[in-house]
C-alpha cells in the first residue's frame, strides 16, 4: 500500500507536535506521510492547508489532542472506507482518558467492536479518514467549532447517498481541549452554520 497522508491541523509548534507525529507513524500499520500545519489560524484554515498538501486517495485528519493510538489504527480506518463505497468519512470510537466512551456527534452508537452508521450523517473530525477530493472546510468559521458540521453538510450535498461510519474496533483517546471554541466563537459559528444551511436549533454533540 502506498503511503497515506495524515494531516495534523494545529496551532502548536513543530517541536510540540513531534511526539504525536512519532506516535502516529509508529502505530499506523501502513506507511504514512505526516503534514503538521503549525499555523496560528482558524481550524478550518489549518485543515485546508493540510488537505492541499495531500496526494493519497484516502486522507486521515488527526487533532493535536488525540493520544493512545493502538497498533494498526490507520489501516483499520482505511479498510472501512475501501470496503464501504458509500462511506465518505469514518471515525474511530473516541474515548476519554479513563477508557470510557468519549463525546461524539451524529447519532453515533457505542460498541466494543464492529462498524456502525452515524444516523445523522456527520462525525467529529477529531480523528477521521476521508476520501481525497476537492471539498474544503469553510474558513468563515472563526477559531474552531462547527467547521466539521459544515464539512459534513458539504459531503451530504455532494454525495446524497453517502454514509458516515464509526469503526468501534479502534478506540482512541480524545482529550477534547476545544481550543478557541467556546464563548463568542461558538455562538457566532453556530449562527453562521444555521444561516448557511437554513436550519434552526442545530445540535453539535
| Burial category of 68 from C-beta neighbours within 10 Å (exposed 0-12, middle 13-18, buried 19 and up) | middle
- Name 38's bridge partners: none
Q: Give percent of the chain above pLDDT 70.
A: 94
pLDDT in the model for residue 107: 86
Closest CA to 79 of 113, 127, 134, 129: 129
Measured distance CA(146)–CA(87) in Å, rounded? 21
Measured distance CA(17)–CA(202) in Å, rounded? 33
C-alpha cell at 35: 503534514
Find the range with the poorest average confidence among 104-113, 117-126, 134-143: 104-113
β-pairing, 127-131 vs 115-117, is: unpaired
Domain spans in the chain, listed from the N-terminal domain onward: 4-197
Decide if 181 contacts 103 (C-beta within 8 A): no
Q: Is the pLDDT of residue 28 over 80?
A: yes
Of 3.30.300.20, 3.10.20.70, 3.90.550.10, 3.40.50.20, the CATH number of 4-197 is 3.90.550.10
Q: Is the pLDDT of residue 2 over 90?
A: no
pLDDT in the model for residue 205: 52
pTM value is 0.93
140-154 pLDDT, tens per residue?
Answer: 999 988 999 999 999
Could you list the beta-strand ranges (E) of 41-194: 58-62, 66-67, 87-95, 115-117, 127-131, 163-174
41-99 pLDDT, tens per residue?
Answer: 999 999 999 999 999 999 999 999 999 999 999 999 999 999 999 999 999 999 999 99
End-to-end CA gap in the chain: 35
Chain centroid to CA 16: 20
Amino acid at each position: 500500500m502506498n503511503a497515506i497522508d495524515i494531516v495534523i491541523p494545529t496551532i502548536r509548534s513543530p517541536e510540540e507536535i513531534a511526539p504525536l507525529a512519532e506516535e502516529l507513524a509508529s502505530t499506523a500499520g501502513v506507511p504514512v506521510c505526516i503534514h503538521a500545519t503549525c499555523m496560528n489560524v482558524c481550524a478550518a484554515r489549518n485543515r485546508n492547508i493540510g488537505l492541499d498538501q495531500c496526494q493519497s486517495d484516502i486522507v486521515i485528519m488527526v487533532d493535536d489532542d488525540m493520544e493512545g493510538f493502538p497498533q494498526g489504527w490507520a489501516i483499520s480506518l482505511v479498510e472501512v472506507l475501501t470496503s464501504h463505497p458509500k462511506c465518505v468519512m469514518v471515525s474511530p470510537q473516541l474515548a476519554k482518558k479513563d477508557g470510557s466512551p468519549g463525546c461524539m456527534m451524529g447519532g453515533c452508537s457505542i460498541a466494543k467492536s464492529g462498524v456502525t452508521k452515524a444516523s445523522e450523517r456527520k462525525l467529529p473530525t477529531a480523528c477521521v479518514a476521508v476520501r481525497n477530493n476537492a471539498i474544503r472546510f469553510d474558513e468563515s468559521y472563526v477559531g474552531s467549532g462547527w467547521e466539521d458540521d459544515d464539512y459534513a453538510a458539504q459531503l451530504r450535498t455532494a454525495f446524497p447517498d453517502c454514509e458516515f461510519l464509526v469503526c468501534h474496533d479502534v478506540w482512541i483517546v480524545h482529550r477534547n481541549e476545544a481550543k478557541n471554541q467556546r464563548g463568542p466563537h461558538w455562538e457566532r459559528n453556530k449562527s453562521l452554520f444555521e444561516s448557511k444551511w437554513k436550519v434552526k436549533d442545530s445540535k453539535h454533540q
